[in-house]
Amino acid sequence: MKVVVAHNRYREAIPSGENVIVDTEIAQLRAAGIEVLPFQRSSDSIGDLPLAEKALLPLSPIYGRSAQRDLSRLIESERPDVLHLHNPYPLLSPWVVRTAHAHGVPVVQTVHNYRQVCSSGLYFRDGHNCTDCRGKLIGWPAVQHRCYRGSAAQSALMATTLAVHRPTWRSVDRFIALTDRIAAHLRDYGISDEHIVVKPNGLPDPGEPAPLGDGFLYGARLSPEKGLDLLLDAWQRHPDGSLGTLRIAGDGELRPLAEKAAAERSDVIYLGILDQEGMRAARRESAVVVAVPTWNDTLPTVILEAMAAGRPVLGTAVGGIPYLVGSGAEAAGWVVEPSGLADALPIARAGAPAFAAAARRRYLTHFHPDVLTPRLIEIYSSLTANSDHLPR
């Protein structure tokens, strides 16, 4: 089987779990014997584009002329069985769906965010969850609030793009929803259940877990929607040292908040930006990984990494977190309302040893490549078996 994987990479200067997820999935597919043809553009390349292409950049989210030309050439020369789309913005454009269909190639898209409706993709603005654009023909609230890159002009373009490509998205042959929350978003958008498959991302097995450390690890972009201020407020309600150590890793606009907490309390350490090995070391030193966003986060990779390493998770009951952590006998930790985080911290610290094995077991059962890669190949196979309706 031959698969084109299409993805517009975010700027590499900005830590992007999505880039890592796409690269990991490509490696897993190749290991399973699938021939993968990456069709990727990077936002880092915008500064190096010829002047003529730069002049057309404002229209790229709608059409992306050079991307359609190059994709057509790739399809004509390689004759792939499926196109797997991840993020199309800004350089690929959702038009790649139409280009693939024009050549008789079915399309599957992994939905990483809410950008079928929301210009920012987050359903979050000004410190709170927001669905003002849901159900509207054109998302004018996004223009009013400058939701896309802080620009009214760019927000207007993105809102127009989403309106223009509503029929494009509804022509996608199969959507991969990372969690049940994304599946509900797609149904609300008008996608039928028969075109949606819930399949999370997976991570390579890091091997047998190290013994539990002590305390908590928070690793995320330090921005309001990721919940650092919520966590530090909950932490401050406990005496210094009573919960072990809180390790904070990451960077962003709330970095001064992390540095201030580390300066004021002996049980808070700000680790700064860590590479993958640094994060592995921080997990080994900790007993519980904290994921406490206040927005409807789709699939925080930090939770998958925690379970793979045998670390239970304390998460907020938003977005895809309840799906990832699980419940009952399969629970890999604790899911609480944001208002209950302070009370949950000592419970999680005391209960970590009892949940460590369950966290590792949940990873092996639900998020290991040996489980997820065959499921992805099955999705591809179901499309190629039923693609006779597409033109060739």
% pLDDT > 90, the chain: 82
The confidence score (pLDDT) of residue 340 equals 97
Q: Please, which pLDDT band fits residue 218 given cuts at 50, 70 and 90? A: very high
Q: Please, which pLDDT band fits residue 391 given cuts at 50, 70 and 90? A: very low
Radius of gyration of the chain (CA): 21
Query: Mean pLDDT, to the nearest integer, of 277-294?
Result: 97
Tell me the average pLDDT of the chain. Answer: 91
The confidence score (pLDDT) of residue 52 equals 47
Return all residues near 243 (Cβ < 8 A) that are at least 6 apart: 215, 216, 235, 267, 345, 346, 349
Query: Mean pLDDT, to the nearest integer, of 188-216?
Result: 95
Query: Mean pLDDT, to the nearest integer, of 35-56?
Result: 65
* Res. 363: pLDDT tops 90: yes
The DSSP bridge pattern shows strands 107-111 and 174-177 to be parallel
The residues with which 6 forms a beta bridge, in sequence order, are: 39, 85
Residue with the bigger pLDDT between 14 and 148: it is 148
Query: Mean pLDDT, to the nearest integer, of 13-31?
Result: 80
Residue with the bigger pLDDT between 97 and 12: it is 97
The confidence score (pLDDT) of residue 57 equals 54
The confidence score (pLDDT) of residue 12 equals 46
* Res. 276: pLDDT tops 60: yes
* Res. 46: pLDDT tops 80: no
Query: Mean pLDDT, to the nearest integer, of 262-273?
Result: 97
* Res. 53: pLDDT tops 60: no
Q: Could you tell me where the DSSP H helices lie in the chain?
A: 17-31, 51-56, 65-78, 95-102, 140-144, 152-164, 166-169, 180-189, 228-236, 255-264, 276-285, 301-308, 321-325, 341-362, 369-384
* Res. 387: pLDDT tops 90: no
The confidence score (pLDDT) of residue 196 equals 98
Specify burial of residue 1 (Cβ count, 10 A radius: 0-12, 13-18, 19+): middle
Q: Please, which pLDDT band fits residue 179 given cuts at 50, 70 and 90? A: very high
The confidence score (pLDDT) of residue 366 equals 96
Segment 66-88, tens digit of pLDDT:
899 999 999 999 999 999 999 99
The confidence score (pLDDT) of residue 186 equals 96
* Res. 128: pLDDT tops 60: yes
* Res. 382: pLDDT tops 80: yes
The confidence score (pLDDT) of residue 45 equals 47
Residue with the bigger pLDDT between 387 and 203: it is 203
* Res. 263: pLDDT tops 50: yes
Give yes or no for a contact between 283 and 289, defined as CB atoms under 8 angstroms apart: yes
% pLDDT > 70, the chain: 92
Instruction: Output the six-digit token pair for 42.
Output: 């990077």
Segment 147-171, tens digit of pLDDT:
998 999 989 999 999 999 999 999 9
Segment 305-329, tens digit of pLDDT:
999 999 999 999 999 999 999 999 9
